[in-house]
Amino acid sequence: MEPIEINAGGWYLRALRADERIDDRPALVDGGITDPDYVVRRALEWDDETHFSWAVCVPTTAEMVAEIGATPEGDGTAVISGWARDGYDTALADGRTAVRRFVQGALGLEPRDIPVDR
């Protein structure tokens, strides 16, 4: 599946990027993620539909402030997880709401939240 962009009101959700136009890796480091292949791995997970992830971004700058993921389970559910940079808990909450709607409406799965990663 190709990554799906989501409008979450005051936030814009898109696939993670590390290219000449947008580089989410500094934001990932702020979130404690230092794996150099993380963005590539997330893209591959979209391709094989094992995990769907979104960078929650400021719409005017495309700056990543949080990440939300949905992992399909074999029982008709999808585990929703995420983390936010300091000061962006509202972005995470708003984004999770939008991702839950996507999981139900587009994927036909029942979202199951796990606590916010810190």
Alpha-carbon span 15 to 98, nearest angstrom: 14
The average pLDDT across 51-63 equals 97
Residues 6+ apart with CB under 8 A from 11: 56, 57, 58, 59, 65, 91, 94, 95, 98
User: Which tens digit of pLDDT belongs to each residue from 7-54?
Assistant: 999 999 999 999 999 999 999 999 999 999 999 999 999 999 999 999
What pLDDT, on the 0 to 100 scale, is given for residue 117?
56
The average pLDDT across 80-95 equals 96
Task: Give me the chain's average pLDDT, please.
Answer: 95
CATH for the stretch 6-113: 3.40.630.30
Q: Phi and psi (nearest 5°) for 104?
A: -70, -50
Residues 6+ apart with CB under 8 A from 106: 4
* Chain position carrying tokens 């979209």: 46
Residues 6+ apart with CB under 8 A from 26: none
Alpha-carbon span 30 to 85, nearest angstrom: 7
75 pLDDT above the threshold of 90? yes
Domain ranges of the chain: 6-113
Alpha-carbon span 51 to 58, nearest angstrom: 23
The average pLDDT across 76-86 equals 97
Residue 94 has, within 13 A of its CA and on its CB side, a CA count of: 18
Band of residue 114 on the pLDDT scale cut at 50, 70, 90: confident
Over pLDDT 90: what percentage of the chain? 95
What pLDDT, on the 0 to 100 scale, is given for residue 13?
99
